[in-house]
Amino acid sequence: MNKILLALLLAIQTLSLWAQPKITVAVAANMQYTIQELITEYNKTDKTKIEVVLGASGKLTQQIQNGAPFDIFISADKEFPQKLAENKLTLEAPKVYAQGLLVLWSARPNIQPTKDLKLLLGSNIKNIAIANPKTAPYGHAAEAILKKYGLYDKVSPKLVTGESISQTSQFIVTQNADIGFTAKSIVISKETQGKGKWVELNAQDYPPIEQSAALLKHAKQNNEAAAKKFYTFLYSAKAKTIYNKFGYIVK
Amino acid sequence: MIELAPLWLTLKLALSTTLILFIIAVPLANWLTGDKGVFKVVVQTIVSMPLVLPPTVIGFYLLLAFSPANWFGHWLEQWFNIRLVFSFSGLLIASVIYSFPFMVHPIQSGLSSLSPSLKEASYSLGKTKWQTLSKVLLPNIKPSLLTGIVLTFAHTVGEFGVVLMIGGNVPNKTRTASIAIYDEVDALHYHSANIYAGILLALSFAILLLLYSFNRKMQQARFY
């Protein structure tokens, strides 16, 4: 019996040794469609298997602080990776890869989103979806723009909070929320084509969503070279073309 | 800073769910206790479903049902001008579905453990079905009733997955204590999370301790 078990263990061990290199990337939810395209492009030249864990940037930060086995963190802001750097969980200083834009989106047939946010006060809008401002940078930006126009207190009874920008977008697409704030990269992806109408909000009205990424300490125990290579790719010209395509601003 | 609102909301949700389920479950359990027809077996199966279903399945279907894009949600909005998603009523409906077996099962097993002669004696003394149930059967299954009430209450307090899917984290409406903990942990506010979690831990312990002490006393009373 023990021999069989040993043989089995050995077999599993050998199999995992034969497997191609693998890295795990923690990705902010607004990048959910973009990351797929980045990986497809990357795998054209490098077959490293890249596993994606999606979530709100704040949640992922919390998980990394508690020892989650991620090699790279692709955040939706600058602050969360910075926090990890301060806690010495990154291998080098985080860098900005793209700037995200906030949009107002509705899938209800009778609601037309406008740049003028006063429409949110209308009685035809019963609830407004935003991402959790504490953990999702796009939620934070949405809160900032509402506050800037003095609308926050008036609309706050209507606010429903998604735990990440993906849940927020799901509330909007299923029309459970009449309207909501989400990332431009989500509304212009193939997956959401033809689902409702959206409008881009003035980028000067909220603090810039400077999305940065960080190479994490865990990569050292895993496959540092592979992780580092994909991390570098995130700042390459090819990657920038993809960010552009998904509506991000790239410098 | 810790807010008390999520705890009150949890209490309100748990109490309302328990009350509603008690009213539904007593007659249903009584009906299910009799001879089993095919129809009863089907009903029994449906009642037990939430025991094995992941909460996300219930959450997913409710999300679809409540959406104004679908006929049920549309109908509610058109005729009654209500939207159940992200509301306390929606959460209450979800809790009632989700905790159904926790109320029905204990009452049902209590009723079926009673000797049939009890019912027969009551009938032959001229009592109606309803009088027999309320004056003879129910007083004899107090421990089962209490178990049903306590389990339903506790299960609703512990509800998480469904609330996460259809709640929307709205303060005073759908931000229950379990959601508040999740939220505080994500925001790295471990102190607040600790307080909420500690209160829930103490509450669960106290509830179960009370239940077991009471049932023990009842059992002793029966034997001596």
List, for residues A165-185, the tens digit of each pLDDT value.
Answer: 999 999 999 999 999 999 999
The two three-digit tokens of residue A194, written as one number: 């033809």
Check the CA dihedral A152-A153-A155-A161 and report its sign. Answer: positive
Closest CA to B138 of B126, B148, B152, B150: B148
Residues of chain B with a CB closer than 8 angstroms to some CB in chain A = 63-64, 66-69, 73, 83, 85-86, 164, 168-170, 182-183, 185-188
Q: What is the pLDDT along chain A (251 residues), one digit of tens a residue?
A: 677 777 777 776 666 655 678 999 999 999 999 999 999 999 999 999 999 999 999 999 999 999 999 999 999 999 999 999 999 999 999 999 999 999 999 999 999 999 999 999 999 999 999 999 999 999 999 999 999 999 999 999 999 999 999 999 999 999 999 999 999 999 999 999 989 999 999 999 999 999 999 999 999 998 999 999 999 999 999 999 999 999 999 98
Give the Cβ contact number of residue B78 at 10 Å.
Answer: 9
The two three-digit tokens of residue B208, written as one number: 């179960």
The two three-digit tokens of residue A130, written as one number: 């935003």
| Contacts of B175 by beta carbon, 8 Å cutoff, 6+ apart | B5, B6, B9, B167, B169, B183
pTM summary value: 0.88
Residues 129-148 of A with CB under 8 A from B: 129, 132, 134-135
- The model's pLDDT over A61-90, given as tens digits with 9 standing for 90+, comes to 999 999 999 999 999 999 999 999 999 999
Which one-letter amino acid corresponds to residue B44?
Q
Closest CA to B110 of B52, B172, B30, B46: B30
Average pLDDT on B56-77 reads: 93
Give the Cβ contact number of residue B192 at 10 Å.
Answer: 17
Please answer yes or no on whether A161 and B168 come within 8 Å at the CB atom.
yes
Q: How far apart are CA A184 and CA A206, in angstroms?
A: 14
Q: Which residues of A touch B67 (CB under 8 A)?
A: 174-176
**Residue of A176, A181, A195 to mutate for B, most B C-beta atoms under 10 A:** A176
Please answer yes or no on whether A58 and B185 come within 8 Å at the CB atom.
no
pLDDT score at B2: 77
| Contacts of A222 by beta carbon, 8 Å cutoff, 6+ apart | A23, A24, A69, A71
Q: Which residue of A has its CA nearest to B73?
A: A176
CA atoms within 13 A on the CB side of A55: 18
Residue whose pair of structure tokens reads 């909007």 in the numeric block = A172
CATH superfamily membership of A100-205: Periplasmic binding protein-like II (3.40.190.10)
Q: Which helix (H) or strand (E) holds B192?
A: helix B190-223
- CATH number for the region B5-223 comes to 1.10.3720.10
Statement: residue B142 has pLDDT above 70: yes
Please answer yes or no on whether A132 and B83 come within 8 Å at the CB atom.
no
Cβ-in-10-Å burial (0-12, 13-18, 19+) of A20 comes to exposed
Q: How far apart are CA B13 and CA B143, in angstroms?
A: 23
Chain B contact for A174, CB < 8 A? yes
Closest CA to A144 of A130, A160, A158: A130
**A240 to chain B, closest Cα gap in Å:** 30
**Which of A107, A135, A177 minimises the CB distance to B187?**
A135
Please answer yes or no on whether B168 and A175 come within 8 Å at the CB atom.
no
Q: Which residue of B has its CA nearest to A156?
A: B170
Chain B contact for A159, CB < 8 A? yes
Please answer yes or no on whether A175 and B187 come within 8 Å at the CB atom.
no
Cβ-in-10-Å burial (0-12, 13-18, 19+) of A149 comes to middle
Give the Cβ contact number of residue A9 at 10 Å.
Answer: 10
Closest CA to A183 of A109, A93, A91, A249: A249
Statement: residue B100 has pLDDT above 60: yes
**Residue of A62, A160, A165, A173 to mutate for B, most B C-beta atoms under 10 A:** A160
Please answer yes or no on whether A161 and B164 come within 8 Å at the CB atom.
no
**Residue A194 per-residue DSSP state:** T
ipTM of predicted assembly, 2 dp: 0.84
Q: How far apart are CA B156 and CA B153, in angstroms?
A: 5
Check the CA dihedral B210-B211-B217-B218 and report its sign. Answer: positive
**Residue A30 per-residue DSSP state:** G
Q: Which residue of B has its CA nearest to A134?
A: B187
- In degrees, to the nearest 5, what angle opens at C-alpha B201 toward C-alphas B99 and B163? 40
Looking only at the bridges linking them, the beta strands covering A209-215 and A197-200 are unpaired
**Residue of A66, A152, A155, A161 to mutate for B, most B C-beta atoms under 10 A:** A161
Domain boundaries, chain A: 2-99+210-245, 100-205
CB-CB contact of A102 with A209 (8 Å): yes
**B203 to chain A, closest Cα gap in Å:** 27
CATH superfamily membership of A2-99+210-245: Periplasmic binding protein-like II (3.40.190.10)
In terms of phi and psi (left: phi > 0; alpha: psi -120 to 50; beta: otherwise), the region of B220 is alpha
